């Protein structure tokens, strides 16, 4: 006669529960590890993230120069002053423009170069290094280099103008041209990072799918449009996310290049915070800028993650 155990007789459900009970000691064994490593991480996150955010929100309700404890409570007046300030409105527009240029020019340029440099051909490593080198360069150094390039007296623009016999444009001194000069530097500085992301994504694609499309008679554009680009969807969404968040936090490239000028035409939210909140000792106003920037970043990050990256 065949021996039937009690668990077998009760069916698959009982077997699954029995397996879960057998695994529970291992799960309980992970608890000491969690209790050992989680509190220090939470402590560091609280000290360096939660508390500064709370302090910024608290200081934004006061008129305070940073000396002594804040005592002059003004409520939401800092936010009212902020959104009536033309320089801050210009900073908001500039951040939106940087995001637009990053998505519409920087990311497509990175995809185009990645498709050419993803294959293992002779000299491709050198070209990857050349295009990625601007991203490796420190932002302050890049800003100082391009400030010299744009210089109308001794820079590269001045030398080219003198060689061509035309009037030298003072790009960074013209409020109508300075922001476009900054945008060109931003594209030059950061497209290499996105290019490397797309190269990694292209190299991970299944080559048999592309070969099948080629056998079916698809042209180069059709393979890219209907095969390569959909397969790069997760990489593309990640690249756009980095472009948006990085554009909102742009600071150390603009400060050595223009300092937010001329006439506040190249201000971003972070440079506005520094120029109007830190250097002028208006800590309450600067904290209000930090709160607005935090709300925008969190809203865009979680909204983008929920809408576009929910399946990644």
Write out pLDDT tens, residues 249-282: 999 999 999 999 899 999 999 999 999 998 988 9
Q: For all residues of the chain together, what is the average pLDDT?
A: 87
As a dihedral over the C-alpha atoms of residue 208, residue 211, residue 217, residue 220, rounded to 10 degrees, the angle is 120
DSSP 167: P
The full 3-state SS of 47-105, as one line of letters, equals HHHHHHHHHHHHHCCECCCCCCCCCCECCCHHHHHHHHCHHHHHHHHHHHHHHHHHHHH
Residues 84 and 210 in one domain: yes
Residue that the structure tokens 């934004």 belong to: 60
Residues 152 and 249 in one domain: yes
Query: Measuring CA to CA, how many Å separate 287 from each of 53, 86, 239, 284?
Result: 9, 18, 30, 5
Residues 96 and 52 in one domain: no
CATH of the domain at 207: 1.10.3720.10
Residues 121 and 210 in one domain: yes
Per the structure, the complete domain to which residue 166 belongs is given by 78-308
Does a structural domain hold residue 193?
yes
Residues 227 and 271 in one domain: yes
The string of pLDDT tens digits covering residues 139-161 is 999 999 999 999 988 888 888 88
Residues 20 and 165 in one domain: no
Does a structural domain hold residue 85?
yes
Residue that the structure tokens 């500064």 belong to: 52
Name the burial class of residue 110, with classes exposed (0-12), middle (13-18) and buried (19+) by CB atoms within 10 angstroms of its CB: buried
Domain count, the chain: 2
Among the listed residues 292, 309, 299, the one whose alpha carbon sits nearest the alpha carbon of residue 88: 292
Does a structural domain hold residue 135?
yes
Does a structural domain hold residue 23?
yes
């Amino acid at each position: 006669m065949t021996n039937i155990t009690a668990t077998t007789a009760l069916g698959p459900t009982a077997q699954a529960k029995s397996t879960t009970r057998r695994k529970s000691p291992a799960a309980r064994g992970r608890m000491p590890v969690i209790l050992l490593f989680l509190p220090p991480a939470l402590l560091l996150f609280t000290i360096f993230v939660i508390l500064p955010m709370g302090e910024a929100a608290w200081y934004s309700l006061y008129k305070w120069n940073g000396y002594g404890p804040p005592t002059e409570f003004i409520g939401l007046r800092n936010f009212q002053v902020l959104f009536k300030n033309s320089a801050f409105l210009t900073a908001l527009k500039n951040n939106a423009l940087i995001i637009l240029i990053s998505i519409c020019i920087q990311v497509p340029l990175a995809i185009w170069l990645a498709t050419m440099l993803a294959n293992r051909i002779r000299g491709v490593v050198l070209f990857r290094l050349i295009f990625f080198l601007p991203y490796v360069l420190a932002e302050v150094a890049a800003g100082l280099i391009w400030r010299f390039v744009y210089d109308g007296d001794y820079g590269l623009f001045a030398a080219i103008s003198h060689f061509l016999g035309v009037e030298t444009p003072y790009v960074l001194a013209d409020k109508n041209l300075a922001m476009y000069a900054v945008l060109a530097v931003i594209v030059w500085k950061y497209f290499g990072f996105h290019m490397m992301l797309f190269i990694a994504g292209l190299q991970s694609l299944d080559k048999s799918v592309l070969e099948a499309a080629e056998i079916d008679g698809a042209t180069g554009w059709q393979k890219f449009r209907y095969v390569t680009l959909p397969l790069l969807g997760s990489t593309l969404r990640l690249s756009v996310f980095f472009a948006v968040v990085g554009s909102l936090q742009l600071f150390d490239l603009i400060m050595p290049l223009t300092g937010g000028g001329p006439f506040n035409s190249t201000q971003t939210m972070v440079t506005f915070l520094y120029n109007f909140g830190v250097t002028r000792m208006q800590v309450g106003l600067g904290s209000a800028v930090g709160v607005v920037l935090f709300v925008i970043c969190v809203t865009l990050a979680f909204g983008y993650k929920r809408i576009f990256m929910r399946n990644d």
